[in-house]
């Protein structure tokens, strides 16, 4: 008798600002999944938060959405799966290829747990921790891993208000500062401030994306170094570093997804073996403590004054054809398609 293939729910889109990147990542992951081994059911989450079953990875327009079946997660006879108008389909495993808010922050992961569906990527504990840059920086500090000096701020809190936080930041490190939303990605809402006036404007911009704001010292970055972390039960990989050189401004959304980055990647990172080993060791320490699994990217700054600073963890890193994460795995010797298969098989084996 022919063995039935495990069904994989490939969830993409999402309510967050990184919706479009998720579509590109999922498109790539879909093409990497071996359809002889797995039966893929793509699920598109619209900007409004509606869940649709689709038959290919794309960004359906409003007119197209009208004819798509909506689905929701649930449990039927003890098995997790999706409910549609005309019935229930059991699902073996999910692959949320979602970035940022409402995607890699534990929300979808919690829903999958409730629906008894195993899944690839961060779990319900590590998702929220890695999503919030403040939390990960606090963990890094307590593990003895240096990060840019920072002040935590909460826009609508009298204790952690903008004015109070900026005053603290002025005392701690002064201008220039770098102000960014604590819970977002893709450089959205992040900017530099050289004066109090600019700081207030930068803060307000960040605040339009997240109530929690990080005010950091502006690091004079010589290099941004990132490494890919891959973990399944019997295999852990921390790849070589990729270097992102920013000759102007900072590594912003446009550069990340629409150009420029390829050139930086094709060049092997010119980082000394000592620094490189230090960054990999920091990655090992953080990943173990935070409990990242399957895929994640660890980002660092090498400052001109020689400091090696941890910056952030991306628990579901960009996975487009030109993204750093799959490129680094390939360079290491693990093809992205094999990596995807290993992640899915690993999630399937979860108790």
Ligand X SMILES: Nc1ncnc2c1ncn2[C@@H]1O[C@H](COP(=O)(O)OP(=O)(O)O)[C@@H](O)[C@H]1O
Pick from 16, 185, 317, 326 the residue near ligand X by CB under 6 A: 185
The whole-angstrom separation of Cα 200 and Cα 212 is 15
Question: Considering the complex, what minimum distance in angstroms separates the CB of residue 239 from ligand X?
Answer: 18
The whole-angstrom separation of Cα 101 and Cα 186 is 11
Tokens of 321: 């054809």
Q: Is the dihedral of CA 248, 250, 251, 257 positive or negative?
A: negative
Residue 180 or 212 with smaller CB distance to ligand X = 180
Residue 109 or 191 with smaller CB distance to ligand X = 191
> Applying CB under 6 A, does 311 fall inside the site for ligand X?
yes
Span 221-260, contacts to ligand X by CB under 6 A: 221, 224, 246, 250-251
Residue 38 or 150 with smaller CB distance to ligand X = 150
Instruction: Collect all residues with Cβ–Cβ distance below 8 Å to 156 and sequence separation of at least 6.
Output: 211
> Applying CB under 6 A, does 148 fall inside the site for ligand X?
yes
Q: Which stretch binds ligand X (CB under 6 A): 7-15, 33-41, 87-95, 213-221?
A: 213-221
Return the H-helix or E-strand segment holding 27. helix 19-32
How many binding residues for ligand X (CB under 6 A)?
A: 18
Tokens of 224: 């941004």
Pick from 112, 219, 227, 242 the residue near ligand X by CB under 6 A: 219
Q: Where does the chain show beta strands of DSSP type E? A: 7-13, 39-45, 51-53, 72-76, 79-84, 87-90, 93-96, 118-119, 150-154, 177-181, 191-193, 212-217, 221-232, 235-244, 294-303, 308-314
Question: Considering the complex, what minimum distance in angstroms separates the CB of residue 294 from ligand X?
Answer: 19
Give the x/- contact pattern for ligand X in 263-302, rule: CB under 6 A.
------------------------------------x---
Tokens of 154: 């909460």
> Applying CB under 6 A, does 216 fall inside the site for ligand X?
yes
Question: Considering the complex, what minimum distance in angstroms separates the CB of residue 169 from ligand X?
Answer: 11
Q: Contact at 8 Å (CB) between 104 and 98?
A: yes
Q: Contact at 8 Å (CB) between 265 and 286?
A: no
Residue 153 or 186 with smaller CB distance to ligand X = 186
Residue 11 or 169 with smaller CB distance to ligand X = 169
Residue 109 or 186 with smaller CB distance to ligand X = 186
Residue 88 or 175 with smaller CB distance to ligand X = 175
Tell the residue number behind the tokens 């891993």, with chain if given.
145
Task: Let me know the angle formed at the C-alpha of 228 by 221 and 225, rounded to the nearest 5 degrees.
Answer: 10
> Applying CB under 6 A, does 315 fall inside the site for ligand X?
no
> Applying CB under 6 A, does 9 fall inside the site for ligand X?
no
Tokens of 256: 């990340």
Binding residues (CB under 6 A) for ligand X: these are 148, 178, 180, 185-187, 190, 216, 218-219, 221, 224, 246, 250-251, 299, 311-312
């Amino acid at each position: 008798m022919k063995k039935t293939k495990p069904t994989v729910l490939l969830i993409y889109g999402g309510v967050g600002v990184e919706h479009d990147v998720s579509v590109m990542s999922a498109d790539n992951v879909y093409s990497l999944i071996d359809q002889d081994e797995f039966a893929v059911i793509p699920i598109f989450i619209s900007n409004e938060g509606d869940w649709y079953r689709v038959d290919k990875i794309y960004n359906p327009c409003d007119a197209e959405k009208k004819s798509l079946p909506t689905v929701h997660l649930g449990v039927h006879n003890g098995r997790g799966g999706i409910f549609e108008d005309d019935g229930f389909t059991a699902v073996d495993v999910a692959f949320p290829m979602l970035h940022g808010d409402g995607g890699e922050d534990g929300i979808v992961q919690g829903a999958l747990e409730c629906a008894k569906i195993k899944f690839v990527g961060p779990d319900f504990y590590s998702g929220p921790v890695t999503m919030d840059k403040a939390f990960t920086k606090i963990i890094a500090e307590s593990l003895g891993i240096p990060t840019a000096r920072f002040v935590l701020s909460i826009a609508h809190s009298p204790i952690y208000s903008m004015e109070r936080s900026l005053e603290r930041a002025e005392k701690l490190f002064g201008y220039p500062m770098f102000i960014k939303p604590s819970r977002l990605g893709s450089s959205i809402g992040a900017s530099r401030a050289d004066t109090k006036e600019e700081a207030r404007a930068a803060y307000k911009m960040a605040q339009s994306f997240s109530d929690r704001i990080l005010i950091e010292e502006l690091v004079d970055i010589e290099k941004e170094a990132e490494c890919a972390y891959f973990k399944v039960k019997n295999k852990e990989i921390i790849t070589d570093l990729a270097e992102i050189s920013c000759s102007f401004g900072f590594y912003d959304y446009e550069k990340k997804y629409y150009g420029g980055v390829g050139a930086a990647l094709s060049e092997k990172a010119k980082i000394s073996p000592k620094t490189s080993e230090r960054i990999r060791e920091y990655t090992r320490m953080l990943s173990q403590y935070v409990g990242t699994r399957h895929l994640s990217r660890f980002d660092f700054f090498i400052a001109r004054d020689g400091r090696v600073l941890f910056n952030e963890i991306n628990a579901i890193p960009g996975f487009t054809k030109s993204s750093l994460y799959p490129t680094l795995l390939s360079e290491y010797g693990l093809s992205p398609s094999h990596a995807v298969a290993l992640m899915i098989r690993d999630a399937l084996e979860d108790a």
